[in-house]
Amino acid sequence: MLRVDDLHVRYGTTHAVRGISLELGAGEAVALLGANGAGKTSTLRALSRLVAGEGRIELEGEDLTRLAPEAVARRGLIHVPEGRHVFATLTVHENILMGLTARGDRSDGFSVDGVYELFAPLRDLRGRLGYALSGGEQQMVALGRALVAAPRVLMVDEPSLGLAPVIVEAVEEALRAISRHTALLVVEQNIDLALRVCSRASIMKHGEIVLEVDAGDAHEREALMASYLGRGQPEGPGTSAES
């Protein structure tokens, strides 16, 4: 489905992503974990071509490396950015309709009504403007908008960031539901959530993948926790390049 080969991202002399390779099969859910500044967000931004990276990105065998971001989106690699970025001056309904722009002629995936079924609370908010939504509602709109685009691969950046625990649960539910139809690449700080939703996790540090973990394997999960709890250097500010 999605295949990334030796991806690099540089900001000036900062080498934010240093040769990442990833593979995501159909229907698979993979988490990208790591501390702040490890290069997770930069990776997603490079995959959706918001920033220029070097390396090869393939979606269903097609090379995306030279495409503009809107063309990447139209081919079904959909990116839900950190901070959700609901269109503030569009209503909830219009926000969700925006997903259709990237949908092209793909017939699978969620319909607009399907989104309202998945996120029932949005039904009563159809006419509300984006800036008047709570964080949880925004996350639902952002996910719903992405689903309407019938993603081949859905990339979600920090879906639980800044949300109340009860909302995080709802988001987790939604991600699970989505992962039944769609390949998922999730960037998360909340490791537990990520491992419940995803079958595999790649751990990033200093722009590299340092560990790959099978979420079902207790032994590997332990190794993951150990790597988190600090063997090796903590992240220095000099390498922080996430934006």
Partner 1 sequence: MNEATTPVGEPAPMGAAPTTGLAGGETTAPYAKRLRPGIYRRHHYLAVVVFVVATAVLAPMFAESRSTQFLVNLWLVYSITGIGFYWVFGLAGRFAFCQTFMMALGGYMGAWVAQSSLGGGFLVQVALGVVLSAGVATAVGLLVRRAQAFYFAIATIAVAEMGRVFFSKAEWFTGMNGTRTGIPPIRLFGRDYIAESEVFWIFLGGLALVLLLAAVIERSPLRRDAVAARDNALVAAVAGVPTGRAQLTLFVLGSAMGGLSGALMGPWTGTTGDTSFGIELAIGIFLMLLLGGIGSMWGPVVGAAFYVAVPDLLSGFDKYATIVYGALLLVTIILMPEGIVGGLGRLRLRLEGRWRRMRPKGAVDAVG
Partner 2 sequence: MEKFVALTASGVAYGAVLALVALGFIVLYKATGIINFAHGDLVGLGAYLAVWVVDDLNLPSVAGYLVALALMAVVGVVMERVVRAPLRDKPVLVVVIATLAMAIVIRGLIALWQGSNPKTLVSPVGNRALHVAGAAIAQQRVVIVVVATVSIAGLILLFQRTSFGRQVRALAADPDTAVLMGVRGTYVAMAAFALSAVFAGLAGILVAPLSAVDLNFGFSLMVTAFAVAVVGGFGSLGGVVVGALVIGLVQQLVGGYLWPEYAGLLPYILMFAVISVRPEGLIVVERSRL
**Interface residue list for partner 1 (CB under 8 A):** 10-14, 45, 49-52, 68-69, 243
Q: Count other C-beta atoms under 10 Å from residue 97's C-beta.
A: 14
Query: Counting beta carbons within 10 angstroms of the beta carbon of residue 184, is it exposed (0 to 12), middle (13 to 18) or buried (19 or more)?
Result: buried
Contact with partner 2 (CB under 8 A): which of 40, 145, 152, 205? 145
Kindly state whether residue 94 participates in binding partner 2, applying the rule CB under 8 A: yes
Comparison of 80 and 183: residue with beta carbon closer to partner 1: 80
Q: Closer to partner 1 at the Cβ: 79 or 93?
A: 79
Contact between 111 and partner 2 by CB under 8 A: the answer reads no
Residue 88 token pair: 């503030």
10 interacts with, out of partner 1, partner 2, none, CB within 5 to 8 A per kind: partner 1
- Site residues (CB under 8 A) for partner 2, limited to 20-59: 48, 50
Sign, Cα dihedral of 75, 121, 171, 50: positive
Contacting partner 2 (CB under 8 A), which of 98, 167, 170, 177?
98
Contact in structure between 8 and 53 (CB atoms under 8 Å): yes
Q: Please report how close the Cβ of residue 45 comes to partner 2 at its closest, in angstroms.
A: 9
Measure the CA–CA gap between 175 and 193, rounded to whole angstroms: 10
Contacts of residue 194, defined as CB under 8 A and 6 or more positions apart, other chains included, come to 31, 33, 186, 188, 201
Tokens of 140: 């639902």
- From the CB of 47, what's the least distance to partner 2, in Å? 11
Q: Does 73 bind partner 2 (CB under 8 A)?
A: yes
- Interaction of residue 10 with partner 2, rule CB under 8 A: no
When the beta carbons of 51 and 142 are compared against partner 1, the nearer one is: 51
Quick check: 79 binds partner 2 (CB under 8 A)? yes
> Which residue in 21, 101, 111, 134 binds partner 2 (CB under 8 A)?
101
Task: Report in angstroms how near the CB of residue 73 gets to partner 2 at its nearest.
Answer: 4
Do residues 197 and 211 make contact, with C-beta atoms less than 8 angstroms apart? no
Burial environment of residue 162 by CB neighbours within 10 A (0 to 12, 13 to 18, 19 or more):
middle
Among candidates 228, 168, 232, which has minimal Cα distance to 35?
Answer: 228
3-state secondary structure of 157: strand
79 binds, among partner 2, partner 1, none (CB under 5 to 8 A by kind): partner 2
Question: What are the residues binding partner 2 (CB under 8 A)?
Answer: 48, 50, 68-70, 73-74, 78-79, 81, 83, 85, 87-90, 94, 97-104, 130-131, 145, 149
